[in-house]
Chain A
């Protein structure tokens, strides 16, 4: 009877990396087909394949870790490194958009009127909905920390309640931001102001949705007793991601909404 003499996880062969790669191919080529031939079929197919891949791959990780015990301390350490590196790459992603914003706003060209905000742009009042959004995300940072402590202390009901509250705050932010987008007096096509505003805040909003989804999955897992007070890395990863989203918002708020008005 052979068994491994080490604490690491030699993962069983899996089709999901391949389906994920195929999904990426179909989505990118589908995008080109959409642009040139006005058909969204290929892209939609790629999107469905992507969603199926994510669902099944992460389901398998949960099975391997929570049910089969493969996530020993060294394995968990590797997962931690992985999440940290991923979030770091996302930081650089946003750094690019901040670079673009500061490039255009620190030295506004004559075409804009030599001023920022450019001539003709009425920026959003930073002390109205954007300030509320800031409060909402900061509060959600508090509630997710409450969740973490609840999990560590074995307080099941509190963990569920605070995690639900965190997710609701995330959804509230998304709803408020969607309303702001609808009501804004300027569009993405309104010069470099519109471009920098909507691309930066748009990608942030997408990350809020991703983060909320991650937290929602954690909520379902918490309800189904997956987490123990000592071992709940999936939740920690979601909480790190959520804090990252919050920090990005703070930079967006100070730079684009406040200084940029």
Chain B
């Protein structure tokens, strides 16, 4: 099994067709794989087993998910300027909070999904 996973990971190019999400809107696909990766990590860590198989989900969500949904900005100043600018373009209310970042939310304990 582990060899199969390694082979699959080595041959990985992009997210394959997933029959659970056949339509154009792939939001759920991104969300499900993001959840599955962190759930896999949590479950295998708890068992004390190597978490390498979880990397499949990571590859898929990194292929599918919009960066702005997931990533913590690497360079705080320049990226937060861009985010604030995007925020002002999208709404007329004061832009105080950052656009949601799932990684940030997980760290803050405010991630709405169940892991």
A interface with B by C-beta (< 8 Å): 109-115, 118-120
Contact = CB atoms under 8 A, between A and B. Distances in A.
Interface in B78-115: 100, 102, 112-114
Contacts, number: 24
B24 to A, nearest CB: 14
Interface class of chain B by DSSP:
helix
Interface of B: 27-28, 31, 35, 69, 100, 102, 112-114
Contact of A120 (B27, B31, B69, B112): B112
Nearest to A113: B112
Contacts of A119: 112-114
Contacts of B69: 110
A112 B27 CA distance: 13
Contacts of B27: 109-110
Contacts of B100: 111
11 contacts: A109-B27, A110-B69, A110-B112, A110-B113, A111-B112, A112-B112, A113-B113, A114-B28, A114-B35, A119-B112, A120-B112
A112 B100 CA distance: 12
A112 to B, nearest CB: 6
A112 B110 CA distance: 11
Contacts of B102: 110
